[in-house]
Structure 1
């Protein structure tokens, strides 16, 4: 028995979208970026810890975990043994699908990173990511935050784990969210992203996991529905 029905989670997802749009309306992205950078750029952009640990190290760890999750479909280990084969497959595919979704959006976006702005020593002008298709004079491809998806991609595991352990599901979700914001914050300090980029990545990854859960739930309900006897109604 799950703690929250899918309908309630759907409502919470929409409320999160409203809050996210409200954040965009505040214009706080630039204010936060100015706290980390100046006309000379971002001092922490090439910081060894930020680059080699928080960026490269975290990314490599995330991909190692993805490989481990796919291997666990066939050879489960630890608490993953409590999940069915289908559950383990859903978990692994949800993570991968979330990463792909964020990557597709990034490649379609013409929004440039803070460090590309004229205000911070670059060549681009600030254009809201809502102005889809409008070139800002920079390289683009910065929205949403791809690096934060290295952690946020795992939030969809909540839907799978709550079937066997609501407590484990909440812990999994909490760790994924905290790690995602840590990675997002490190990139913001480097000038690689705005706060809204991180928030949108979190929401997109959650929606991917939620959509897959809805699809799996509907498929299972139809598959497990008992067949009507051939003589019924005759």
Structure 2
């Protein structure tokens, strides 16, 4: 139950920090403004090669490749009659990580919040509104909360329930660091606010925690 508790704690803390950044203060917009050039009327690093290609596109595809490699490993264990416990753990990581990404994308599809670069404050025309505020008429295209890119890192919180001791702590630190880097890239480019990244971490942690609880209660096959 330790890993599940850790995941739920990450989710709870991330939600609180997101509310503090977006609803209870102006931190979201203050951080975004650091990377916005009023003279150019744009986020000047939006198309930066290192950020947009290496740390955005490549990082996303690296996560996809890692997931597919794990899937192939699980299939190999299944066909070869490998250790049932290892196969079960790999299967959990596959399902929980996929569910986390799916949840983030479903939430994003329903979101009325637009990306910073669409907002009037940052060269666009859409209105900014805080979490839980009524949606204004000119909210823009929306579909920007949570962050899909950050989910490609935070999805790997799914490994925590199958690890123990120092390995779990190291994995948790690594995933949170990777998610932080992926999120920072999008904040710098003007694609997301800090709260978007934090809520992505919360969604992934919650889904993985609930999946772990279900996994524990399911009989082994």
TM-score range relative to shorter protein: 0.7 to 0.9
Aligned equivalent of 2:47? 46
CA distance in 2 between partners of 1:193 and 1:99 (Å): 17
Between 1 and 2, higher relative CO (CA 8 Å, sep ≥ 6) is seen in: 2
Give the drift of 1:6.
4.3
Q: TM-score under structure 2 normalisation?
A: 0.87
Aligned equivalent of 2:20? 22
Of 194-203 and 153-162, more deviation after overlay is shown by: 153-162
* Match of residue 109, structure 2, among 91, 107, 110: 107
CA distance in 2 between partners of 1:28 and 1:135 (Å): 24
CA 1:158–1:9: 2 relative to 1, 3 Å: closer
Aligned equivalent of 2:80? none
- Larger Rg computed on CA atoms: 1
CA distance in 2 between partners of 1:145 and 1:52 (Å): 17
Q: Write out the 4+ residue segments of structure 1 that deviate beyond 4 Å after TM superposition.
A: 5-13, 132-135
Q: 3-state SS of the aligned residue for 1:103?
A: helix
CA 1:97–1:9: 2 relative to 1, 3 Å: closer
Of 153-162 and 129-138, more deviation after overlay is shown by: 129-138
1:2-81 equivalent positions in 2, closer than 5 A: 4=2, 6=4, 10=8, 13-24=11-22, 25-39=24-38, 40-75=41-76
Contact 1:111 1:136 in 2 (8 A): no
Give the drift of 1:85.
1.2
CA 1:21–1:70: 2 relative to 1, 3 Å: same
1:109-148 equivalent positions in 2, closer than 5 A: 109-131=111-133, 134-148=136-150
Q: 3-state SS of the aligned residue for 1:84?
A: helix
Q: 3-state SS of the aligned residue for 2:156?
A: coil
**Unmatched 5+ residue regions in structure 2?**
78-82
Give 1 or 2: higher helix fraction: 2
Aligned equivalent of 1:214? 213
Aligned equivalent of 2:199? 200
CA 1:154–1:82: 2 relative to 1, 3 Å: farther
Give the drift of 1:178.
0.4
Give the drift of 1:212.
0.3
Give the drift of 1:132.
6.5
Q: CA offsets, 1:121-168, max 9 Å, x none? A: 111111124236555431111101110111011012111122xxx222
Give the drift of 1:108.
0.5
Of 83-92 and 187-196, more deviation after overlay is shown by: 83-92
CA 1:124–1:10: 2 relative to 1, 3 Å: closer
Q: 3-state SS of the aligned residue for 1:26?
A: coil
* Match of residue 159, structure 2, among 146, 157, 160: 157
CA distance in 1 between partners of 2:115 and 2:155 (Å): 21
Aligned residues: 214
Of 130-139 and 143-152, more deviation after overlay is shown by: 130-139
